[in-house]
Amino acid sequence: MSEPSLFTKIIQGEIPSSMVAQGESWYAFLDINPQRPGHTLVVPKEQAQRIAELSSESRRDLMDGVVEVQRRLSIEFETTDFSINVNDGPLAGQEVPHVHFHIIPRTKSSTSHPLWNMSNKPSDPDFEALTSLSKKLQSY
C-alpha cells in the first residue's frame, strides 16, 4: 500500500478541510487556494493518481459527486455554468497525486473565458493533420 496522499489525509480528517458534500466513495471540499469563489475539489475516497487507475465503480460515482457539488454551488452562486478540470498526471500539471476534479462556478461577474485555455491555436484549422490523427486514433 502506498503512502497516504494529502487528499487521503484530508478524507480521513487527519488534515482539516472545508467540506462541501460527500458520498460513500467520494469527498468534496473547498480548494485552499481558489481560482474563483466556490472552487471545489471532488476526490474519490479510493486513492489513485490517474482516472484510468480507479475502479470503474469509483470512477462512475465520482461523476455523481461532481453533479451533486454543481447542484449545491448553483444555489449559492446562482449559476448553472461551471468550469470543470482534471489534471490527470504530473505532465498535465497535477500537483497532488490523487485524482481530483476542480469544479469552479462561473458567473456573469467572472469572465467568460475558459479558465484552462491552452493558447497557440492556429487561426485556420489544419484539416489534414486532424484527418490523419483521427484515422490513427480510430485504429487503436
Cell digits of residue 8: 487521503
Of 37, 2, 3, 42, which is closest to residue 19 (Cα–Cα)? 42
φ/ψ of 41, rounded to 5, equals -110, 135
- Residue 39 annotated as catalytic: no
Long-range contacts of residues 21-25, Cβ cutoff 8 Å, at least 24 apart: 21/65, 21/68, 21/69, 21/72, 22/65, 23/61, 23/64, 23/65, 23/68, 24/61, 25/57, 25/58, 25/61, 25/62
Least spacing, CB of residue 6 vs ligand 5GP, in Å: 6
Per-residue binding letters, 6-45, with ligand 5GP (x by CB under 6 A):
x--------x-x-----------xxxxx-------x----
Check residue 118 for interaction with ligand 5GP (CB under 6 A).
Answer: no
Residues in the interface with ligand 5GP (CB under 6 A) total: 14
Binding letters toward ligand 5GP, positions 86-105, x by CB under 6 A: -x-----xxxx---------
The cell numbers describing 119, all together, are 493558447
Q: Least CB distance from residue 25 to ligand 5GP, whole Å?
A: 19
| Cβ nearer to ligand 5GP, comparing 36 with 59 | 36
Q: Residues in the site for ligand 5GP, rule: CB under 6 A?
A: 6, 15, 17, 29-33, 41, 87, 93-96
